Amino acid sequence: MNKLERLMNLVAMLLEVRRPATLEQIRNSIPDYRKQRSMASFKRMFERDKSELREMGIPIRVEPVDAFGEETGYRIPKEEYYLPEVEFTLEEKAALLLVSRFASGGMIPLSREASSALLKLSPDLGRSGEEGPLRIPVRFAHPAESPEALSKLWEASVRRKTVRFAYRSLGSPEVRERSLDPYGIYFDRGAWYVVGFCHLRNEVRSFRLSRMDRVELVNPDSPDPDFRRPAEFRLRDYSRVLPWEFEEGTEYQAEVRLSPRIAWWVERDLGDVYPFRCLEDGGAVIKVRVRNEDAFFDWVLSLAEDAEVLSPPGLREKTVRRLEEMLEYLEGEGK
Amino acid sequence: MTDPAARLRRLLALVPYVLKHQGATFQELCEVFDVSREELIRDLNLIFMCGQPEYTPADLIEVVMEGDRVYIGMADYFARPMRFTPSELAGLYVACSALAALAGSPSDSALHSAMERIRRAMGLKDLSPEEVEKSLEMASPDSREGMLAMLMRACEERRLVEMEYYTYGRDELAWRRAGPVSLVFRLGHWYLNAWDEKSREMRVFRVDRIKDLRLSEERYVPPREREPLSAGTGGIPERGGILVRLRFSPRLAAWAEEQPVFTEKVRNGEGLVCALRTDNLSWLERELLGWGTEVEIIHPPELKERLRERVRRTLSLYEKKRRSRKR
């Protein structure tokens, strides 16, 4: 007899018994167990099955068989096993099917757990009648970076557990061991990052998941938190830091005029971070915080003739110089 | 061979599914449980062998496959699936919150109310919504509010849309009509697969580049060819016949190495030589402007000429001031 068949029968039996089933009863009932020659080999088999089912979250209880309490038996209380029934509207079903599609892509923490929850919920998401199941015209084709590391980092931040990992910084071939008190994780433009207090630098920093290796908890065996997350910590203060706001150096404000052709697009991208002033022609003036000028030029010059640096005057001059240098460079190359 | 625990989980959900939806079709069950027809039949045959002690025909679960439909009886004890484990519940909650963030606000009254129902029915003791909010963030990839929901509706109802779209490849903003087929999320952006009326072809559009969108009353018949040929590099035209070769300086080499748009990356001393294919150079001019003197154009020479023109045009924005203090 097939093992799955045996497990199904065991669950079915323990759900239906009126009184807890004794080992003897279980052995005499289920064909696979009956076939075992000795009580000992049956017990081994049953113990293995029981622990597998418990690992899946099936509540197998051990209880006295009768009021005398001399003999114990096993049962699965229905009220603990059954998923409460939930009635969803059609829109809610569609939304949850979308979540199911999303989770199966593996791009979020605990995606495997979410998928398994949604599988259990599937009877409540189905649509009776002739229409068949709802179809969702959406796909998530994002390659999963490393679902295990992602889940581990997120859980560590929720449980306040210090982690350690090997990290390759951008632009440096060197791999360094880091330890970090993770405060939270964020996803931006296709990549996951973890933010936390870095013990190497003694400050709060972001790390990109794709550059991490061998993520592990520093104190896996202790259930207690390893650190406290500062009450004033806000993930947003880190997740929306733009490339030209990184690095040391003094911060100043720059004004950039955007043409009507792209102002809407830049506003969609940065409107939540910087003040926008709309102009009558459909363009806009945006006030940007700058610390890293190289990164600022990468961005503003890629907008080409659709962006003009207005102020401060020093930055405007540097912009002109950059463009002139580029022209010279191109002409030099051309020879 | 699938993991036995995963298969058991599926069986314990499949029985209650059919009990609740008697006469479900094979196709429906294959879609819902993400299995092939053969696997499904194997599952159903296994269920058919299970039941209550004595296991006489009267004790076994009844499985009837009639034509294309499936019925299950005599299995009241499996009327409901198994409860969530705490981490499953947390995972589901995280997935819902993350999707709500990613999709902007749109579909999301339904998503929020579904989450609320789940929370009320199952309780969520170990994890507060505030904790999820504080520890996890997904930037919504800059689409106008409600746009995704509108596009999703257009896909479902097969409605033509009119959209003002910024074509990055040609650096051009124009109105066009399209028949949305599906939405895809990849590399941090939402993409729309749609039948493009003008080219009479399936095309990929990046949702954040749709400036304005109107749902028309017209319906369209989706073409046979459902998926566009390719969208691998995310909206950048990549099927083209123009081969471009660039040399990145050491400062940008590490960054360039991580960019999926380059099909070929070869170390060159401290720098990196990258190649890509495109059918249009306009978008690349913008990128090159940003990279400045950190990149050398190896090929084609035409790109160098066009870039020079672009730099001159950008410089002319500053011209007035420049002329007044010219050397």
Residue of chain B minimizing CA distance to A261: B173
Kindly state the percentage of chain B with pLDDT values over 90.
42
Look at residue B325 and tell me whether its pLDDT is greater than 70.
no
The residue that leads in pLDDT, B20 or A68, is: B20
pLDDT attached to residue B232: 41
Mean pLDDT of chain B: 84
Q: Maximum CA pair distance of chain A?
A: 102
**Mean pLDDT (whole number) for A71-79:** 94
Long-range own/partner contacts, residues A267-272 (CB < 8 A, 24 or more apart): A268/B142, A268/B143, A268/B144, A268/B208, A269/B142, A269/B208, A270/A242, A272/A240
Q: Rounded to a whole number, what is the distance in Å from the CA of A70 to chain B's nearest CA?
A: 25
**Mean pLDDT (whole number) for B17-43:** 93
Q: What count of other Cβ atoms lies within 10 Å of the Cβ of residue B61?
A: 22
Residue of chain A minimizing CA distance to B153: A137
**Mean pLDDT (whole number) for B98-113:** 75
Residue A278 — pLDDT band, cuts 50, 70, 90?
very high
pLDDT attached to residue A138: 84
**Mean pLDDT (whole number) for B34-53:** 94
Contacts of B291 in chain A (CB under 8 A): 298
pLDDT attached to residue B78: 96
> Which of B18, B137, B322 has the most A C-beta neighbours within 10 Å, making it the best mutation to test the interface with A?
B137
pLDDT attached to residue B289: 92
Angle between helices A111-125 and A90-104 (to 10 degrees): 150
Question: Would you call A117 an interface residue with chain B, using a CB distance cutoff of 8 Å?
Answer: yes
Kind plus residue range of the DSSP H or E element containing A289: strand A284-290
pLDDT attached to residue B228: 45
What's the CATH architecture for A245-334? 2-Layer Sandwich (3.30)
Look at residue B156 and tell me whether its pLDDT is greater than 60.
yes
* Interchain contact, A133 vs B32, CB within 8 Å: yes
pLDDT attached to residue A51: 96
The residue that leads in pLDDT, A321 or B327, is: A321
CA of B290: how far to CAs of B11, B123, B283, in Å?
Answer: 56, 51, 11
Residue B229 — pLDDT band, cuts 50, 70, 90?
very low
Look at residue A40 and tell me whether its pLDDT is greater than 60.
yes
**Mean pLDDT (whole number) for A319-335:** 84
What would the pLDDT profile of B187-219 be if each residue is shown by its tens digit? 778 889 898 888 888 888 889 889 999 999 998
CATH number of A148-241: 2.30.30
Residue B320 — pLDDT band, cuts 50, 70, 90?
low
* B172-186 vs A138-140, strand pairing mode: parallel
pLDDT attached to residue A1: 54
**Mean pLDDT (whole number) for B303-325:** 83
Residue B326 — pLDDT band, cuts 50, 70, 90?
very low
This complex has an ipTM of: 0.81
Residue of chain A minimizing CA distance to B301: A334
Q: Specify the fold of A3-81.
A: Arc Repressor Mutant, subunit A (1.10.10)
Euclidean distance between CA atoms A316 and A277, whole angstroms: 19
Domain limits, chain A? 3-81, 148-241, 245-334
Question: Would you call B291 an interface residue with chain A, using a CB distance cutoff of 8 Å?
Answer: yes
Euclidean distance between CA atoms A179 and A166, whole angstroms: 9
Residue A171 — pLDDT band, cuts 50, 70, 90?
low
Kind plus residue range of the DSSP H or E element containing B62: strand B62-66
pLDDT attached to residue A335: 42
Mean pLDDT of chain A: 89
Kindly state the percentage of chain A with pLDDT values over 90.
64
**SS3 breakdown of chain B: % helix, strand, coil, rounded to 5?**
40, 30, 30
What would the pLDDT profile of A191-243 be if each residue is shown by its tens digit? 899 999 999 989 998 898 988 999 999 999 998 999 999 999 999 888 888 88
Look at residue B66 and tell me whether its pLDDT is greater than 90.
yes
pTM of the model: 0.80
Euclidean distance between CA atoms A83 and B121, whole angstroms: 9
Residue numbers of A between 175 and 204 with CB closer than 8 Å to B: 183-191
**Mean pLDDT (whole number) for B287-304:** 91
